Copies of this chain bind each other. A is one copy, B any other.
Amino acid sequence: MTVRVGVVGTGVMGADHVRTLTGGVAGARVVAVSDADQGRGRAVAAEAGDEVVFHADPVDLIGDAGVDAVVVASPDHTHEALATACVEAGKPVLCEKPLAATAADCLRIVAHEVAKGRRLVQAGYMRRFDPSYVDMKRALDAGSIGDPVLVHCVHRNARALHFFTPEMPFTSAAVHEFDVVRWLLSSEIVRVTVHRTRSSSRAAARLADPRLLVLETAAGVTVDVEVFVNAQYGYDVRCELVGELGTVSLALPSTTVVRAGGAEGVAVHADFRTRFAEAYRLQLQAWVDAAARGEACGPSAWDGYAATAVAEACLRAQEDGTPVEVELADKPALYGT
């Protein structure tokens, strides 16, 4: 069976998803596209194939009987309405992160899904499909390093996009770390502290970039997270799980080693699209496979909610520097225990 996919939003991420579905995912076909910018949307549709339909209104795409499943890659503030429409239509939806603009918005998606009675929403936290993170979790779960006692995370972008607001280092960047830590440790984040530091002169003053976050999980494990969205030299994501017997870290993803000009070096990726290209592909493949089986997989709406709730706790925590509790709603049975 071929899953017929509609893609809402054809900006950088949406266009990438179309290309990946078309060029590297088995069992799927992009059949429809939508974008508020009709010119851009129609161009992406045309590039994807002659029979790809363009819908000016994303709700029409979701309702299109020829569409089996939907990727939402439009602006964050549209996610709640679109994900909800997919749930109402009973169609699987892969929604780019963050799941929605606020934790409250996310929680409404959760409520809709719970009312519907089955999981249809996958949050686009693609790191859970990255081979390095997957192997790291496998090593932890296999007991290779013993029980976890600490985690060190680093999230560096080369440069913040011009529209980055003071909230986005938390809600857009660190939110990946919150999701992956919850997943790796199988435990909610319950408390956060934000440590400021000397700001880089390369960062816009409003960003107070970088900073250091300290998270605590329900199981009592402490996690430090550097968030630096103007690190200049490249896109660099690091993670080390420290266990009672040893540690496991992400390897630097590199293909070649070059010796030239007095140094031996490996390239650091320029941005997340190349660093996580395989994770994005595997995420789409797993989503398509699950859709074909009528099942759900990967990070749920609840996971999307929880990550954004931690980000909002960080926003409060950075006000005065003291620890702030993460207040989560009760977890519905739909999402397991």
Contacts and interface: CB of A to CB of B under 8 A. Distances in A.
A226 B152 contact: yes
A268 interface: yes
A268 B247 CA distance: 12
Contact of A245 (B148, B232, B268): B232
A168 interface: no
A219 B233 contact: no
A104 interface: no
A38 interface: no
- Find the residue from A231, A247, A248, A267 having the highest chain B CB count within 10 A: A247
Nearest to A267: B263
Nearest to A289: B23
A202 B244 contact: yes
A118 interface: no
A223 B262 CA distance: 24
Interface stretch (A8-16, A83-91, A191-199, A307-315): A191-199
A186 interface: no
A245 B228 contact: no
Interface string A233-270: 11010000010111111111011111111111111101
A28 B29 CA distance: 11
Interface in A100-156: 131-132, 134-136, 139, 144-150, 152, 154
A220 to B, nearest CB: 4
Contact of A248 (B232, B250, B256, B268): B256
A321 interface: yes
A318 interface: no
Given A246-B232, A261-B233, A150 B255 contact: no
B255 A264 contact: no
A210 B266 contact: no
A198 B221 contact: yes
A247 B278 CA distance: 26
A264 B135 CA distance: 16
16 contacts: A131-B255, A134-B255, A135-B256, A144-B258, A145-B260, A146-B232, A212-B224, A226-B242, A233-B245, A233-B246, A233-B261, A246-B260, A250-B255, A251-B256, A264-B268, A265-B266
